[in-house]
Every structure is written in C-alpha cells, then in structure tokens.
Structure 1
Amino acid sequence: MPLSITEKRRVALAYDGSEDADRLFDWSVKNIVRPESDHIILLSAVQRHEKSSPSLFNKKDEKPKEAELPMLSTTVTKVDEAIKDIEHHPQGQTARQRLEDMSAKLRQINVSSEEHILWGDAKTLLPRYTEAHKVDLLIVGSRGLSTVKSVFLGSVSDACLKNCPCPVLVVRNATI
C-alpha cells in the first residue's frame, strides 16, 4: 500500500540554477531518492537585488526594503505580494520555471514533490527552512572551493552543516 505524504521521508534538495545543481538533482534522483517512500522538497534561494523591482524600495527614502521576505507569511496579503514579486522578478520567474520542470521530472517517476522559492541569502534561509519544517535530509552541492576562498565567499554547504537540525548531505561537484 502506498505511503501518505506525511509518512514519507522528506528530502529537501537545494537548487541554485547552475549546471552543477542540475547534475546534483540528477545524481540525487538516481542515488538517493526512493520513489516509493520519499517526498522531495525543492528549494531555491533567490537573492533580491536593488534594481530588480521598483516595489523593493520605500517611497520616502528610496532605500531597499529588507533583503529577504519572511520565509513564513502569516497573512494572505503577504502571500499575494510575494507571488506578485515572483512574477515580476527576473530571477524569480526563472527559478520558478526550473523548479516546476524538476517537479515534472519527479512526477514522471512517481515521486511526490513541492517547490519553494526563498527570497534572500541561502546560507540563512536553508537552515531556517529546515528548522521551521519537517525535513529528514537536506542535500546541497559543494563547489569545492579552497579554504581561503570559502572563508571570503562564504559557504552555503558549511552554513547548512553547522546550522541545520537535520542531516545534511554535501555532494562535491567533482564526484557527480
């Protein structure tokens, strides 16, 4: 008998739109995902940029609003505003389409999934998402930066390893 979504293992996959992330998705589906017992949560963090949309600015001082939307909206109005921003944000539309395409691939192999676009810095939002939602495993890629570059550029995978309450699988791009 098939498992309900609440009984399935919830595997979150962080996706940044790169070719490496595409390979990570394919590798994860082939090596980690169990169609009969997994539910996949596709996560993409989109950094907001000042020039992306006029709605990002306050009228009186023309400074950008918060760098990220709250991950969990509590009102219908905030949800509607976030959806409108996605529709008009150049990266948001691309991220949405990519996640929908990945979800369609998962449906073809009978894997249930959901897609979420998180507005802001992935290093902050991925751990915050795993804290706020039931996630049994987070899969992230690693570009394999040297220690020096990683210190200066920051590392999403490192932040997830340190701050996520669930197990985190970091997959080096060189291995996939």
Structure 2
Amino acid sequence: MSSQYKHIQVSVDGSKEADLAFSKSVAVAKRNNASLEILHVIDTRSFQNVSSFDSAMVEQVSEDAKKKMEDYYERAKSAGLEDVRYHIEFGSPKTIIAHDFPKKHKIDLIVIGATGLNAVERLLIGSVTEYVTRTADCDILVCRTKETGIAGI
C-alpha cells in the first residue's frame, strides 16, 4: 500500500456486524495514525408511517443513539485513538453514508459491516452496504470476519 488512510468513517447501527466494523476501524485508524469519524444515521423514513408520530419518539431514538455513540467513542479512546469523533445524522442512511458525510469530512476510507439491522429493507430495496460499495467515491472496507488481536475494543 503506497498511501495511508487519514480520515476514516465507520458506520454503525447497533448490529453485531457494525460492532465488528467498529473494532476493525479502530485497528486501521491506529495503524494509519488516522482520524476516526463514528457515524450513526437515524432513518427518518421509519417515522413517516407512524400514525401517532410525536417529538417524544424522535427524542427517545436520538437519546438511545447518543448513548450508543458515547460508548463507541469511549471504546475508541480507551484503545488509544486520539483523533476520534462521533456523529448522529438524520435522513437516508444510504445517501449520508456513501456521499454526504464522506464529502463533508474528506473521508478516504469507509468501514462498514456486511449486513445491518434491517433485513426487510435489504430484501425490498437492497442493503445499505451494497449501495455504499457500489456508489461511494472512496475506498470501502466491508467487514465479514472477526479480526484477531482487537480484544477490549
């Protein structure tokens, strides 16, 4: 590899695959002395079909996401990463993960799990991972297997 990654994005959704992607992203960021941007996207389309939609629901989802992201942040810091931030975005996960966020943050590597939480969406309209790997402008690391030697992350 002739160049190092400097700005790494890991996309997490609470699934086991996302947790694996997070662990691998920490290892890659450490090897490359890179910044790590931990990204969670709240899919606003899921609120459109709720008849009793209210702001309390959005606040609860946001608060749950914030707690998860703070945990990821602390795990990255404990693993020795200095330059790490987390972000919670609202909108279409596919577009934000593949295009909007990487462009805004000058991402040169996206780390993502092979599958995520939403099996129904995967069957009906294709997976987020498939879309990201097909359309993103930077390198993609799709995590399928557990990497050894990352205990405690």
* TM-score bucket of the superposed structures, by smaller chain: 0.7 to 0.9
Question: Is 1:120 the equivalent of 2:120?
Answer: no
1:136 alignment counterpart: 108
Question: Is 1:45 the equivalent of 2:41?
Answer: yes
1:168 alignment counterpart: 140
Provide the rounded CA distance (Å) in 2 between the counterparts of 1:36 and 1:24.
Answer: 16
Larger gyration radius, structure 1 or structure 2:
1
Q: For structure 1, which segment, 104-113 or 46-55, has the greater mean C-alpha deviation from structure 2 after superposition? A: 46-55
* Among candidates 11, 15, 20, match of residue 17 of structure 2: 20
RMSD over aligned Cα atoms: 2.7
Seq. identity, %: 25
- Structure 2: any 5+ residue segments left out of the alignment? 147-153
- Structure 1: any 5+ residue segments left out of the alignment? 1-7, 56-84
Provide the rounded CA distance (Å) in 1 between the counterparts of 2:21 and 2:7.
Answer: 17
* Among candidates 68, 79, 95, match of residue 98 of structure 1: 68
Greater RCO, CA 8 A, separation 6+: 2
Residue-pair matches, total: 132
Q: Which amino acid aligns with 1:29?
A: V
Deviation above 3 Å: which 4+ runs of structure 1?
A: 50-53
Q: Tell me the TM-score normalised to structure 2 length.
A: 0.73
